[in-house]
């Protein structure tokens, strides 16, 4: 069916007039990038005139050139999101429970960390390692558990870690204690919660440094954030997956732990003795 544009072309390539066929061939040969350039570039590369290009895409069923380009981009986007696995055939067990979910999760993780650099994480870790200020964590409806998870670890290796839980009014009241030396770590994926956005804005105005962990569409909180980390969340399922955010959290925990190193180690030992 609908399938890819490349297939659509190779189906009809025999029925095309000569010049348009040249256009088709050059497109296939440089698929799909030449189609993302201008009509002039495309036509020159194919050795035909611009109107020929336009007639060509019109014959494929597109109403205009930009529409054709959008289709190519969508296709490319889908291709880029799921690296290896999509190129190969579905690994036989297409209808199992485990396989699709696991594969999608692995893809999400790889894709997520492809866009995250060591230096970015190091910058965030440095901020989270600053024991002078307070560290606050909070999350949305589904992501608040991630904030709790991270808080549980951070509280062990550094002082003044607070997870903001309960009613909105409760966090709001804590704003009074927040200042420019403090860090607020927020987890927020769509649908983004207004209450969180409001809270972030107020914290930002108080000078609090915000670290945001969000999805690829970026929560509106990004506007106020000093650091933004985006994870992939799309899944072949009714739900989005927060697994990539979870691994980001664990990576940060690890990074901060290493940064605090000796100090943190002593703290952990002390804590052991207190139990």
Residues between 256 and 275 that touch its own copies (CB under 8 A): 257-258, 268
Segment contacting DNA (CB under 7 A): 32-40, 78-86, 122-130, 147-155?
Answer: 32-40
Smallest gap, in angstroms, from Cβ of residue 224 to DNA? 11
160-189 binders of its own copies (CB under 8 A)? none
Closest-CA residue to 25 (of 39, 12, 38, 36):
12
Does residue 179 bind DNA (CB under 7 A)?
no
Q: Does 136 bind DNA (CB under 7 A)?
A: no
13 binds DNA (CB under 7 A): no
Instruction: For residue 154, give the nearest of 267, 30, 36, 274 by alpha carbon.
Output: 267
d(CA 92, CA 98) in angstroms, rounded, equals: 12
Query: What is the chain's percent helix, strand, coil content, to nearest 5?
Result: 60, 10, 30
DSSP characters over 178-200: --TT-EEEEEE-SSPPHHHHHHH
Tokens 């105005």 locate to: 205
| Smaller CB separation from its own copies, 177 or 204 | 204
Structure tokens at 84: 């290896």
Binder of residue 175, out of DNA, its own copies, none (CB less than 5 to 8 A by kind): none
Name which of 180, 183, 181, 179 is nearest 164 in CA terms. Answer: 183
Under the binding rule (CB under 7 A), the answer on residue 51 touching DNA is yes
Please state whether the peptide bond connecting residue 191 to the residue before it is cis, i.e. omega within 30 degrees of 0.
yes
d(CA 61, CA 115): 35
54 lines the binding site for DNA (CB under 7 A): yes
Stretch that binds its own copies, among 29-37, 54-62, 166-174, 193-201 (CB under 8 A): 29-37
Using CB under 7 A as the binding rule, whether residue 107 contacts DNA is answered as no
120 lies in the site for DNA, by CB under 7 A: no
Within 10 A of 116 (CB to CB), how many other CB atoms are there?
15
Contact between 87 and its own copies per CB under 8 A? yes
Question: Collapsing DSSP states into helix, strand and coil, what is residue 210?
Answer: strand
Instruction: Tell me if 49 contacts its own copies by CB under 8 A.
Output: no
Q: Which is nearer to DNA, 20 or 107 (CB)?
A: 20
User: Residue 101 is encoded by which pair of tokens?
Assistant: 């979910």
- 79 interacts with DNA by CB under 7 A: no
* Residue 249 and residue 128 in contact, taking contact as beta carbons nearer than 8 Å: no
Count of chain residues binding DNA (CB under 7 A): 17
Contact segment (CB under 8 A) with its own copies among 25-33, 55-63, 128-136, 172-180 equals 25-33
Which range touches its own copies (CB under 8 A), out of 11-19, 55-63, 175-183, 195-203? 11-19
Residue from 17, 61, 83, 159 touching its own copies (CB under 8 A): that is 83
List residues binding DNA (CB under 7 A): 17-20, 38-40, 48-52, 54-55, 64-66
């Amino acid at each position: 069916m609908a399938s890819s544009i490349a297939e659509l072309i190779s189906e009809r390539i025999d029925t095309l007039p000569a010049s348009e066929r040249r256009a088709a061939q050059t497109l296939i040969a440089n698929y799909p990038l030449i189609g993302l350039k201008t009509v002039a570039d495309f036509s020159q590369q194919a050795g035909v005139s611009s109107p020929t290009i336009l007639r060509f895409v019109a014959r494929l069923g597109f109403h205009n050139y930009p529409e054709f380009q959008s289709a190519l981009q969508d296709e490319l986007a889908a291709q880029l999101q799921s690296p290896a696995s999509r190129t190969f055939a579905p690994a036989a067990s297409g209808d199992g429970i485990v396989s699709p979910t696991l594969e999608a999760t692995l893809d999400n993780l790889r894709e997520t960390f492809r866009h995250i650099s060591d230096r970015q994480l190091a910058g965030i870790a440095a901020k989270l390692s600053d024991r002078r200020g307070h560290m606050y964590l909070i999350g949305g409806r589904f992501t608040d558990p991630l904030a709790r998870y991270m808080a549980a670890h951070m509280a062990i290796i550094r002082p003044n870690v607070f997870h903001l839980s309960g009613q909105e009014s409760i966090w709001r009241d804590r704003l009074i204690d927040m200042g420019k030396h403090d860090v607020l770590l927020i987890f927020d994926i769509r649908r983004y919660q207004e209450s969180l956005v409001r809270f972030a804005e107020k914290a930002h105005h108080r000078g609090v440094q915000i670290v945001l962990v969000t999805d690829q569409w970026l929560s509106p909180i990004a506007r106020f954030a000093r650091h933004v980390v985006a994870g992939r969340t799309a899944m072949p399922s009714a739900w989005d997956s927060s697994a990539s955010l979870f691994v980001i959290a664990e990576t940060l925990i690890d990074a901060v732990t290493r940064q605090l190193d000796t100090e943190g180690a002593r703290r952990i030992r002390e804590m052991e003795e207190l139990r």
